[in-house]
Amino acid sequence: MTLDFGTHASASGGVHESLQRAADVGATSAQIFSKNERQWIAKPLDPGVVESFHIERERTGIRQMVIHDSYLINLASPKEDLLEKSMAAFTDELERGQILDIQYLVTHPGAHTGSGVEQGIQQFADSLNRIFDALPDNNVITCLETTAGQGTALGRSFEEIAAIIDLVEAKERVGVCFDTCHAFAAGYDLRTEEATVTVFDEFDRVIGLDKLRVLHLNDSKQSFASNKDRHEHIGKGEIGPGAFRAIVNDPRLAGLPAILETEKDDAGEYDRMNLEFLRGLVTG
C-alpha cells in the first residue's frame, strides 16, 4: 500500500466540478479551494451545488478531500481588525468543509508580523481555541502546513508546529500537512532517500506521525534552505527523485492523501506526468 495520490483541482464553475477534473488526471484524492482564495467574503454554498458535489464524489470515487483555506487568513496577526476578519473567514472555511463532508482543512500557521515567534504561536493557538469552541460539532480537522520560513511566517520548524498543537485545547481537531518544497526550503534535507527517512523520523519525534494527515508533494525550484517557496515538477528540481521514492514507499505514510501543487496546464498533462512519475517510484 502506498499514498492516496491526488492534486489540487480547480473548482471553477462550482466545487462539484473539481471532482471530475481530479479524476481526469488520474488522481484518487483531491484538494480544492471552497471559495475564492483571494477574497474575504464569499456567497454561501448553493444547495444544488452541494448536492451535485456529493453525487460527483460518489461517482468518481474520490473519498479523501482537502480544502486549502484563503491566503488572506492570518490567525496569528497582532492586529485586531485583521485577526477578527481572519477568524470569521476561517470559521466559514470550517463550516463549508462540514457541509461538503471534507475531512481536512489545510492552513498556514500565520505570520507574527513583528510581534515575535512566541507571541505569534500563542495568538494562533488562541484563535483556534476560540473558533473550535464556537463550532463544537464541526468534524473537519485543521491541518497546520509546514512553511518555507519566509519573513515572519510561523511553521518553519517542527518545533513551532508542535508548540501550536501543545496550546490547542481540542488536540483531536488539529493535524499537520507536510509540504516537501516548504520543508526543504526551511532547511530539512530531502536530497536523498536516507536523509528523507531521517526527516520523517525527526517529525515523529517532535510532533508525532499520528498527527500527519496530509502531504503536499512538490519539488523545489530553489536551493536547499533558501526560505523561498517555489514549486517544481516532481523529480525535476533541487530535491530530486530520492525524497519522493522514500515517501511513497514509507509504510508509516501509507494511505495519506498526497496532493500535487505543481504547475498546471489546461489539458492536465502536467498533473498526469507528475502522478505517473510518483506511481513509478512505488516498489511494493
Which one is catalytic: 4, 69, 179, 238? Answer: 179
Q: 4-280: CATH homologous superfamily?
A: Divalent-metal-dependent TIM barrel enzymes (3.20.20.150)
Domain locations in the chain? Answer: 4-280
Residue-by-residue DSSP string for 191-203: SSHHHHHHHHHHH
Which one is catalytic: 56, 69, 93, 229? Answer: 229
Q: Identify whether 229 is a catalytic site residue.
A: yes
136, with CB counted inside 10 A (0-12, 13-18, 19+), is exposed
Mean pLDDT of the chain: 97
8 Å CB contact between 209 and 223: no
Quick: pLDDT tens for 81-119: 999 999 999 999 999 999 999 999 999 999 999 999 999
8 Å CB contact between 23 and 63: no
In the chain, % of residues over pLDDT 70: 100
Q: Identify whether 108 is a catalytic site residue.
A: yes
Q: Identify whether 71 is a catalytic site residue.
A: yes
Quick: pLDDT tens for 154-195: 999 999 999 999 999 999 999 999 999 999 999 999 999 999
Beta strands in the chain (DSSP E): 4-8, 29-32, 65-68, 104-107, 141-145, 174-179, 212-217, 219-220, 231-232, 257-260
* Measured distance CA(116)–CA(127) in Å, rounded: 16
Q: What is the pTM of this model?
A: 0.97
- pLDDT at res. 41: 87
